[in-house]
Structure 1
Amino acid sequence: MKSVFKSGVLALAAAALPVAAYAHTGVGEAAGLVHGFSHPISGLDHILAMVMVGILAFQLGGRAVWAVPATFLLVMALGGAFGIVGINVPFVETGIALSVIVLGAVVALNIRVSTAVAMGIVGLFAIFHGHAHGAEMPETAAGVAYAAGFMIATALLHVAGLGLGLVIARFGERRGAFVVRSAGGFAAVAGAGFLTGLI
């Protein structure tokens, strides 16, 4: 259990390294990239949802390993574009909180959906996450660099989720499943906290 926690922390720390690398690069494109990268990793709701997408993809296996995270990224880019140009998407914060609840519950209950259904679920929630990233872009940030930043950070969080699933699976079927389901349950409860404003 300790080694799983340690692996998860290391994966998230590794995902945060590029922020440190770009922290003193000035303005313009670099500032846009840094702002974009830091947005998904600055909120627990985003982090949990992204990691759950990775774990869900790992649970489903096969082509879902790449198709589910790729769907999230592509649809999130569309949502981000909506946010940047000012197209309104209603209930963004509610949608983000629900994404954490639903994805956490699917992982916790080990619900075996088809890859297409999983792509539809993550695609729906990706609109809300993308819009939040785009709408909160600083005025001084360059749009393309900002978008690239939040997409890179999101992809790394997906990879962290996939890696976490792989590490957990090494515990063996019984113990690994318990840890995965516990992680999903934690995310779902946290999502309920976001939805109700308790977190």
Structure 2
Amino acid sequence: LLEVTPEMRKSQMVMMEEFRRRKNMEDYHNLMTKYQQKIGKGFKDHDLVPAQSSRAFVETINKFKTSNAERHFEPKNDEIFNPHEFHLMVLSSDSVTNVTSLNRVNHRRILIFLGNKNGLISYGKGKALEYEQAFDNAMKKARQNMVCLDQNLIMTSPRMLEGRHNDFRIRIYPQMNPNYWGNPILMEILKLSGFFHCRFTCVSR
């Protein structure tokens, strides 16, 4: 038999912790799905309704209370714009590994886009050891990167717009009847940005 080294033991402990976290998430989603089905059918189930007597349900809900994205869209005292008007779009999420002579460190990255469909847009990039913390960092950056687009309400795209990034090029043409045929990601970005009188073409080598 192979001797278990401390590094292997540490990897096993990390793997067991990840399995436990995913199992709890699966139990939580199954419980909420069953609860939504009961509510939709008009039935009442005292085992599923959060109440003072159902301590197990309350503890389960509180365990995942801070893992949802809705908490970032609650209005605060120093807010200038209404957070409920913004729509969130996750553009990319991946994992990177930094291999050193002592250890292997995994980081999660996430890229998000925000828009209120009326000329206010923002984006944010976050990086952390876990996806939850990476998402929180991305939301903090999104609050700092808020951009207000100068648009005409009658004609949101009065002239042709052109832009590029490396080998990617995009052109937005004015058009009274919108035509978003093309890249689905750019289609959603244009909608969230407030461009409704346009069509676009994109070229990526």
Q: Which has the larger radius of gyration?
A: 2
State TM-score, norm by structure 1. 0.24
Q: Which has the higher strand share?
A: 2
State TM-score, norm by structure 2. 0.23
| Greater relative CO (CA pairs within 8 A, separation 6+) | 1
